[in-house]
Amino acid sequence: MEYRSNFQEEEKLLDHVLVLIRDRIPLMEEEIKKTEEYLEFLYAMEVDPYSPYRHEIPGMEEHHQYYAKSLLHMKKAASNPYFGKIYFSYEGEKQDHLYYIGKRNISDLTFTNGEPMQIIDWRAPVSAVYYDGRLGKTNFEGPYETMYVDLKGKTTIKIKDGKLVNLYDVEVVTNDELLADYLSQNKDTVLNDIIATIQEEQNQIIRKKLSQNIIVQGVAGSGKTTVALHRISYLLYNYEKEITYENVCLIAANPLFLHYITSMLPDLDVPAVQQGTMQEILTNGIAQYQPHFSRKITEGVFQTVYSNETYPKRIQKFFDEIQQQVFRENRIRLLTVELVSAEQITVILRKKSMSLFEKAKELDKIMDHSLKRCRGELISIITDYKENETVKKIAKDILKLDPNHILEFNVESNYGRLTKFFKNYFSRRLKQLRVQELFSEFTGLSKIETVNDLACYLYLLYQVKGPKQEFDKTKQIVIDEAQDFNIAVYLCLRAIYSKATFTIVGDVMQNIHEDGLHSWEPVLEEAFDGKAECIKLLKSYRNTIEISAFAQKIMEYVTQKPFYIEPIIRHGKAPQIYSYQSDEDKIKRIQSELIPSFQAEDRKLNAIICKTMENAQKAAHALRETEHVILMDTEQEHLEFGTYIVTVGSSKGLEFDAVILWDFDLYDLQTDSLDYKLLYVAMTRALHELHIFSNREEIGKIAKELFE
């Protein structure tokens, strides 16, 4: 079969495929109806404990779930069944293969000539050729070995509402041209086409093995969140024997951003994974030890005890001191019998991956084993040396015998008292420790107030009370906006979720918190002992060239250093700088010019970004009568279309068609301030338009030099 990308033929094929798919839908609906009716019959019969039908229920329920899920997928495919195709031959074979790539696998289809056709799930191993492969010799990782192929053609197919819109042959159109077409759309349509436009560097991260810990450092708009969510989908599809959705935990900074990203999961064929803000995840972790624990957390409080530079060594030293207190003996001897040797104690205490609780349990096992193994020897020693004062004391205090009546038979019959006395020898000492007191001793704080406090307290609980089975269920943890969290958080999560691997995505340039991360090194070295792969994403797919260039120039102006942003080739309006005489002047321009222009350009989701909540509230009051302008509630979970007044902090991770910077001149543009990072975050939220109110002459000069 010859590879070709002809619009009319592809249009004809699409119409043919849609008919085949749509014809299946009523058949599947009929099958579901029959299954539901039969299940009703089975449930009615279930009341009879002797019913021969009871054993059919689990299988029939599974059958129903399968068809219900398949029907949902088929209905979605009925308007957009695929987005690409690849044409290749395997190394050593003459036969050519033509596969279409879609969001889900669809088999038993035909081409218009009646030959078999198959739509391959984007997560399948062979689909990597679509994302990574350049024409010519390439390869992909199969289930058992690397597969080598000769890629002869690759096409991205744009379909909207069941109609073919465009074709992009890889050897004809550049990647930036393809992306520019997709990304030039407004906010309501961009997310629908993400799978079709995953880039090679993003795809390589998505398809990393489940066993790998990954830290992704990506510039604003580089697709970090996209990568994280698609990786969840990929892992669930390709490692179904190792993990299910119940084994995945997704962590985000706030409820709004969490809902923003999890709303994409159903379209990626991902059910409801574990999810929560960092505060919720840590609080729930503490509740595993203290069921009624709850705490209202204070945001933005920097505590020097959690310094990224000093905390790891300080907490380790603190644990070493507790360890010295609990395991104070060099060895454990009973009379002349060595129950636990110095070497055994040393080996176990040196295991950094074990909690204090696990070390205590391990040594307790050794002692218990020794007492059983040396039972005869100890009975003989006690009997033979019954006149010895130490033996008499053991007989009296532990064996509960008359020191003057030590005989072999009563020592043997009471030996259980001896094993009971030494049972949980070390664990009992740990139980005497009070975690709240340890927390106060280490931090100097009387109560838990911040996320870092939660992490430190949970880490102490884990060390003293040991792991919980609930933690072991989690196999993959995904953390977005990860630069916002302190090393105390990562040390805690890495310890309690010892059975999990991590996908950590963020941008240290967007760390706007004093105790957040300015570098990934503490996480890599301290939390992962260097056993994580750090990957950089340097290309921005969000901003236009004009917005990226302006943000880059502002950052270079502030830092006096080169600043690197590589945007795709997508042009748009130059950022606009407006000088103003008063707030009334600013409000008038927003109401009479900017908001109407957004509506005219069909900019559906926009933002007025303020540095502080106080300023956001002032802006909201000033614009209270302006239609479709809303102050965003920090606790809300949904964003409808309109123009939202937001703080920089609450805008993180989000993107908007157009952005207005309300109070640009309040940012302290000094590198010893976090303000320049706040400004970077604010500017890079804009997809298409950036409008800035500023009376700073140098800012207008930068814009003029760039765009005139």
pLDDT digits (tens, 9 = 90+) for 555-606: 998 888 888 888 777 889 999 999 999 889 999 999 999 999 999 999 989 9
Judge whether 584 and 621 are in contact, CB under 8 Å: no
Average predicted confidence (pLDDT) for the chain = 89
Q: CA-CA distance, 112 to 444, in Å (whole number)? A: 75
pLDDT on residue 192: 43
The answer to whether 454 touches 283, Cβ cutoff 8 Å, is: yes
**Among 557, 650, 580, 579, residue whose Cα is nearest residue 612:** 650
427 phi and psi, to 5 degrees? -60, -35
Confidence of residue 92 (pLDDT cuts 50, 70, 90): confident
DSSP code at position 55: G
Give the largest Cα separation in the chain, rounded: 107
Mean pLDDT across 637-661: 88
Q: What percent of the chain has pLDDT over 70?
A: 95
The mean pLDDT value for 239-267 works out to 87
Q: Is the pLDDT of residue 607 over 70?
A: yes
For residues 612-640, give the mean pLDDT.
85
Phi and psi, residue 239, nearest 5° = -125, 40
Greater model confidence, 257 or 620: 620
Name the helix (H) or strand (E) containing 643: strand 642-647
Tell me the one-letter amino acid at 28: M
Which H or E element spans position 453? helix 451-465
Rounded CA separation 693/708 (Å):
19
**Do 141 and 82 meet the contact criterion of CB atoms below 8 Å apart?**
no
Strands (DSSP E) contained in 425-498 are: 476-479
Nearest Cα residue to 131 out of 210, 214, 234: 234
Going by pLDDT thresholds of 50, 70 and 90, the confidence category of residue 637 is: low
Using DSSP, state whether 502 is helix, strand or coil. Answer: strand
What pLDDT is attached to residue 635?
A: 65
pLDDT bracket for residue 105 (50, 70, 90): very high
Residue 657: both structure tokens together: 């068609």
> pLDDT value at position 221?
87
Q: Cβ of 36: how many Cβ atoms within 10 Å? A: 14
Among 543, 548, 553, 545, residue whose Cα is nearest residue 699: 553
Rounded average pLDDT over 28-51: 84
Q: Average pLDDT, stretch 412-418?
A: 93
**Using CA atoms, how far apart are residues 160 and 167, in angstroms rounded to an integer?**
12
Identify the residue with better confidence: 486 or 174.
486
The residue with greater pLDDT, 5 or 447, is 447
Decide if pLDDT at 673 tops 80.
no
pLDDT at 243 over 90: yes
pLDDT tens column, 333-354:
999 999 999 999 999 999 988 9
Mean pLDDT for the stretch of residues 463-469: 94
- pLDDT one-digit tens code per residue, 162-189: 999 988 887 644 455 555 565 556 555 4
Q: How far apart are CA 189 and CA 194, in angstroms?
A: 10
Distance between CA atoms of 386 and 380, rounded to whole angstroms? 10
Q: With contact defined as beta carbons under 8 Å apart, do 679 and 667 qualify?
A: yes
- pLDDT band, residue 191 (cuts 50/70/90): very low
* Helices then strands, each counted (H, E), the chain: 29, 23
176 DSSP 8-state letter: H
Predicted local confidence at residue 189, as pLDDT: 40
What's at 360, amino acid-wise?
A: A
HSE at residue 677, side-chain half, CA atoms within 13 A, is: 20
Q: What percent of the chain has pLDDT over 90?
A: 66
Question: Which pairs with CB-CB distance under 8 Å and at least 24 residues apart come from 413-418?
Answer: 415/375, 415/378, 415/379, 418/371, 418/378, 418/394
pLDDT for the residue numbered 168: 85
CB 661 within 8 A of CB 551: no
Confidence of residue 513 (pLDDT cuts 50, 70, 90): confident
pLDDT at position 317 over 50: yes
pLDDT at 636: 61
- pLDDT for the residue numbered 186: 56
Q: What's the pLDDT score for residue 173?
A: 43
Whether 606 and 596 have beta carbons less than 8 Å apart is answered as no
Among candidate residues 649, 584, 574, 578, the one with its CA nearest the CA of residue 610: 649
Mean pLDDT over 404-422 rounds to: 91
Count CA within 13 A, CB hemisphere, residue 611: 16
CA distances in angstroms from 658 to 197, 464, 607, 626, 648, listed in the order given = 22, 51, 6, 17, 15
pLDDT at 254 > cutoff 90: no
Whether pLDDT at 529 is above 80: yes
Name the residue with tokens 């205090």: 397
Tokens 């993400």, located at residue: 194
Q: CB of 3 within 8 A of CB of 31? A: no
Count Cβ atoms within 10 A of the Cβ of residue 427 and give its class: 0-12 exposed, 13-18 middle, 19 or more buried.
Answer: middle
pLDDT grade for 199, boundaries at 50, 70 and 90:
confident
Q: Please give the Cα distance from 125 to 143 (Å, whole number).
A: 7
30-46 mean pLDDT: 87
Judge residue 118's burial from the number of C-beta atoms within 10 Å of its C-beta, 0-12 exposed, 13-18 middle, 19 or more buried: middle
User: Considering only 181-195, 321-335, 626-640, which range has the smallest mean pLDDT?
Assistant: 181-195
Q: What's the rounded mean pLDDT across residues 36-53?
A: 79
Give me the pLDDT at residue 653, please: 83
